[in-house]
Structure 1
Amino acid sequence: MAKSEWHGPFDPLSDPDEQTHLLSVLSSFLSYRRHAHYNGTHIRRQAFYSLPSSHWTLLSSPPFSVLSSLSKLDDLIDAHAELAEAIFKVGFKAFLAPRLDSEWVAAVVPEKYARDEFRVYAAVMERLGVKAGRADVDKAKSCVNQFYREWSAEGALEREKCFDPVVGALNAEFASRALTAPDMDRSELSVLAPGAGLGRLVFDICRAGFTVEGNEISYHELMASSLVLNHTQTARQYTIAPFALSGSNHLTRADQFQTFQVPDIHPATDLARAAGNSRVPADERMSMATGDFCVLYSQPDSCETFDAVATVFFIDTAPNVIRYIEAVRNCLRPRGIWINLGPLLWHHAARPPPSDSSSDEEMKDSNNNTHAHAHTHADAGIADPGSVELTDEEVVALVEHLGFTIEKRESGTIETGYISNPSSMLQNIYRPSFWVARKK
Structure 2
Amino acid sequence: MEGEEEWTGEFNPMTDPEERTHLLSVLDSFRSYRRVAHYNTTHLRRQAFYSLPSAHWTLLSQPPFSVLDSLSHLDDLIDSNAELAEAIFCAGFQAFVAPSLDSEQVASIVPEKYAHDLFQAFSTVMDHLGTKGTANDSEKARSCVNQFYREWSAEGHVEREKCFAPILSTLNSEFSSRREKDRVLGKKDMNILVPGAGLGRLVFDICKAGYSVEGNEISYHEIMASSLVLNHMSKPGQFKIAPFALNCSNHLSRADQFRTYNIPDVHPASALSEGDNGEMSMSTGDFIMLYNKPEYKHAFDAVATVFFIDTAPNIIRYIESVQNCLKPGGLWINLGPLLWHHASRMQDPQEEDTDDKKRASKNEDVGIADPGSVELTDDEVVALVQHFGFSIEKHEPGVETGYITNQRSMLQSTYRASFWVARKT
Provide TM-score, normalisation by structure 1.
0.93
Q: Which residue is equivalent to 1:328?
A: 322
**What's the offset of the Cα at 1:8?**
3.7
C-alpha distance after superposition, 1:159-200 (max 9, x if no partner):
000011101111111111111111211111000000000000
Q: Distance in 1 between matches of 2:83 and 2:8?
A: 27
Q: Which residue is equivalent to 1:304?
A: 298
Q: Percent identity?
A: 65
Contact (CA 8 Å) 2:251, 2:408: kept in 1 or not?
A: yes
Q: Distance in 1 between matches of 2:90 and 2:2?
A: 19
Q: Which residue is equivalent to 1:315?
A: 309
Q: Distance in 1 between matches of 2:229 and 2:304?
A: 21
Q: Which residue is equivalent to 1:88?
A: 89
1:153 and 1:318, CA in 2 relative to 1: closer, same or farther beyond 3 A? same
Query: Gaps spanning 5+ residues in structure 1: where?
Result: 368-372
Which letter maps to 1:426? L
Q: Which residue is equivalent to 1:169?
A: 170
Q: Distance in 2 between matches of 1:77 and 1:353?
A: 32
Q: Distance in 1 between matches of 2:318 and 2:147?
A: 24
Which letter maps to 1:296? L
**What's the offset of the Cα at 1:300?**
1.0
Moved over 2 A (4+): 1-5, 7-11, 350-360, 373-378
Map 1:310-389 onto structure 2 (within 5 A).
310-349=304-343, 357-358=351-352, 378-389=364-375
Q: Distance in 1 between matches of 2:116 and 2:212?
A: 40
Provide TM-score, normalisation by structure 2.
0.96
**What's the offset of the Cα at 1:327?**
0.4
1:406 is paired with a residue whose SS is strand
**What's the offset of the Cα at 1:153?**
0.4
Q: Which residue is equivalent to 1:421?
A: 406
1:87 is paired with a residue whose SS is helix
Q: Distance in 1 between matches of 2:245 and 2:345?
A: 32
Q: Distance in 2 between matches of 1:43 and 1:374?
A: 44
C-alpha distance after superposition, 1:301-341 (max 9, x if no partner):
11111110000000000000000000000000111100000
C-alpha distance after superposition, 1:191-238 (max 9, x if no partner):
000000000000000000101110000000000000001111110110
Which letter maps to 2:370? D
1:358 and 1:307, CA in 2 relative to 1: closer, same or farther beyond 3 A? same
Which letter maps to 1:400? Q
**What's the offset of the Cα at 1:111?**
2.0
1:352 and 1:45, CA in 2 relative to 1: closer, same or farther beyond 3 A? closer
Q: Distance in 1 between matches of 2:135 and 2:349?
A: 23
Which letter maps to 2:126? M
Q: Distance in 2 between matches of 1:53 and 1:375?
A: 62
Q: Distance in 1 between matches of 2:88 and 2:117?
A: 16
Give aligned pairs, total. 423
1:304 is paired with a residue whose SS is coil
**What's the offset of the Cα at 1:119?**
1.4
1:142 and 1:359, CA in 2 relative to 1: closer, same or farther beyond 3 A? farther
Q: Please tell me the root mean square deviation across aligned C-alpha atoms, in Å.
A: 2.1
1:95 is paired with a residue whose SS is helix
Q: Distance in 2 between matches of 1:355 and 1:386?
A: 15
Which letter maps to 1:348? H
**What's the offset of the Cα at 1:343?**
0.4
Map 1:157-196 onto structure 2 (within 5 A).
157-196=158-197
Q: Distance in 2 between matches of 1:14 and 1:333?
A: 35
Which letter maps to 2:199? L
Q: Which residue is equivalent to 2:397?
A: 411
Q: Which residue is equivalent to 2:38?
A: 37
**What's the offset of the Cα at 1:276?**
2.4
Q: Distance in 1 between matches of 2:196 and 2:67?
A: 40
- Aligned counterpart in structure 1 of residue 376 of structure 2, from 373, 387, 390: 390
1:2 and 1:338, CA in 2 relative to 1: closer, same or farther beyond 3 A? farther
Q: Which residue is equivalent to 1:370?
A: none
Map 1:110-121 onto structure 2 (within 5 A).
110-121=111-122
